[in-house]
């Protein structure tokens, strides 16, 4: 393992609640049933694909232009909510505030690191959290054409790190992200819901465990 590529939401930070609130506002406006179970199906999925999943529960057919406007409206609500994001929204693994600690230690031993996220709001989130200094590359939804489970985001991150996919470990919390990493030929560490996904190389309870496996690929 020469480098590590992190998914953002659910791995380094938690913005699920902000997504939930924004999508719920849209669903309520359209009188479409929406709850946290439905919201969980949207993890690791692009904005437009998330909207399509929500609209499956609507008897109304929407034009592509209407869908675009709904997705933009959701994103505007979400970005407004993101103004409230702080370090308290950093993922804390086992509750010990470990993301920053783990990132600092990996950075100190010069492990190349990147973020690979389908979110187009990644730059804003990284800025608000103040974690950009740890990463040699950041790839987000603004730079890719295909969202997970397509491996494009991770392949581009590996390219920016000047590494082969097989020499990179991807850290993911969502099934779609795990599939993307596997599809791209990466080593995969699963955290949160993804730690029980089949075919991953490492199940993680917290990011601190990366310090133990660094340099020792499965």
Q: Is 216 helix (H, G, I), strand (E, B) or coil?
A: coil
| Residue 125 near residue 7 (C-beta atoms within 8 A) | no
Distance CA 48, CA 59 (A): 18
From the candidates 7, 89, 140, 150, give the one annotated as an active-site residue: 7
Among this protein's residues, is 7 annotated catalytic? yes
Distance CA 153, CA 172 (A): 13
Residue 169 dihedral angles phi and psi, to the nearest 5° = -105, 125
From the candidates 9, 89, 140, 173, give the one annotated as an active-site residue: 9
Among this protein's residues, is 9 annotated catalytic? yes
Q: Is 196 helix (H, G, I), strand (E, B) or coil?
A: helix
Half-sphere exposure of 137 (CA within 13 A, CB side): 22
Q: Is 204 helix (H, G, I), strand (E, B) or coil?
A: strand
Distance CA 213, CA 75 (A): 37
Active site residues: 7, 9
């Amino acid at each position: 393992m020469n480098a590590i590529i992190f998914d953002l939401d659910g791995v380094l930070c938690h913005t699920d609640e902000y997504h939930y609130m924004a999508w719920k506002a849209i669903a309520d406006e359209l009188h479409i049933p929406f709850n946290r179970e439905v919201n969980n199906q949207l993890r690791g999925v692009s904005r437009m694909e998330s909207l399509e999943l929500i609209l499956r529960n609507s008897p109304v057919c929407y034009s592509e232009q209407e869908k675009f406007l709904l997705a933009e409206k959701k994103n505007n609500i979400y970005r407004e909510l993101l103004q409230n994001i702080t370090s308290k929204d950093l993922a804390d693994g086992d509750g010990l505030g470990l993301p920053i600690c783990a990132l600092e230690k990996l950075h100190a031993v010069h492990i190349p690191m990147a973020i690979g996220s389908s979110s187009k709001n990644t730059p804003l989130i990284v800025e608000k959290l103040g974690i950009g200094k740890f990463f040699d590359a950041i790839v987000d939804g603004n730079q890719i054409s295909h969202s997970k489970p397509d491996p494009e985001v991770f392949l581009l991150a590996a390219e920016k790190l000047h590494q082969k996919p097989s020499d990179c470990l991807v850290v993911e919390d969502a099934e779609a992200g795990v599939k993307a990493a596997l599809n791209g030929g990466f080593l995969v560490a699963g955290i949160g819901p993804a730690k029980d996904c089949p075919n991953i190389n490492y199940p993680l309870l917290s990011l601190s465990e990366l310090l133990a496996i660094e340099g020792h690929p499965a």
